Amino acid sequence: MKKKQIAITLGVMCLLLSIAICVQVRTMNSASSTVSQTLADNNLRDQVLKMKERYDNASNDLGNAQKELEKVRQAATQDDASAEAKEQELKENNMILGNTDVTGEGIEILLQDAANTNSSLNASEQIIHYSDIQDVVNELKNAGAEAIEVNGQRIVNTTAITCEGNIIKINGERIGSPFTIKAIGSKDLLYGAIERAGSILDWIREGGNTAIATKQDNITISRYSGVISHEYLHENK
């Protein structure tokens, strides 16, 4: 009888010990997974910070190089009328390409998602889409706009306005509502084109969205902050 009790007692102890070991193993695995995830997150954050630092340094180097180049150009054209004319032509080309800050008269447009949703309308109609911004930009170009900016992003010949899920990007940078679009050109012509009957702004307003255009006597548009490169374009000699 005693042997049977001892056997039962040992069996119960073995069972309890097995359960304790299983719990311990699971706890250690969970802790290891948490630590691994934390290390991965920290590593990813460090990589992002390093990439941002590299970008900032490269941007500063580019700015310094442009300033030095401008000094060299000015020194080279001080006593040469022909070179001075070429320098002026270069400046004008840079303005057209978007490589310099520019000012002038024009219009400013505010686009914003509908503040109050209307259940009778399609939900997608009550927000500003990237295609709406594209249409406004194209309308301004057709009306003779000489420089355009959207939420601080200069529109140049290589600019892409894209949508990734619910995120709108211009020049690869995320932008969000409200959208402020600036355009330099004849303020009367630009305003007349963008506010004509049946214009893109009228279409945007039909969804309850805000679309306001105002004439401006002095608008400042910043230069394109990226680098315009041509891999396949070559001069035809």
- The more confidently predicted of residues 96 and 111 is 111
Q: Give the dihedral sign, CA 232/172/162/200.
A: negative
Residue 86 in domain: no
Indicate the pLDDT class of residue 207, thresholds 50, 70 and 90.
confident
Residue 66 in domain: yes
Query: Domain range for residue 58?
Result: 1-71
Phi-psi region of 165 (alpha: psi -120 to 50; beta: other; left: phi over 0): left
Residues 20 and 111 in one domain: no
- Model pLDDT, residue 205: 92
111 by Cβ neighbours in 10 Å (0-12 / 13-18 / 19+) ranks as buried
Q: What is the largest CA-CA distance in the chain?
A: 120
Q: pLDDT, tens digit, for every residue of 115-165?
A: 877 666 677 778 899 999 999 999 999 999 999 999 999 998 888 899 887
Residues 141 and 211 in one domain: yes
Please tell me the total count of domains within the chain. Answer: 2
Residue 180 in domain: yes
Average pLDDT over residues 2-13: 60
The CA distance from 58 to 55, in Å, is 5
Residues 40 and 145 in one domain: no
- The more confidently predicted of residues 29 and 201 is 201
CATH classification of the domain holding 196: 3.30.70.1880
Tell me the three state secondary structure of residue 215.
strand
Residue 46 in domain: yes
Residues 54 and 111 in one domain: no
Residues 39 and 112 in one domain: no
Residue 81 in domain: no
Residues 111 and 176 in one domain: yes
Indicate the pLDDT class of residue 8, thresholds 50, 70 and 90.
low
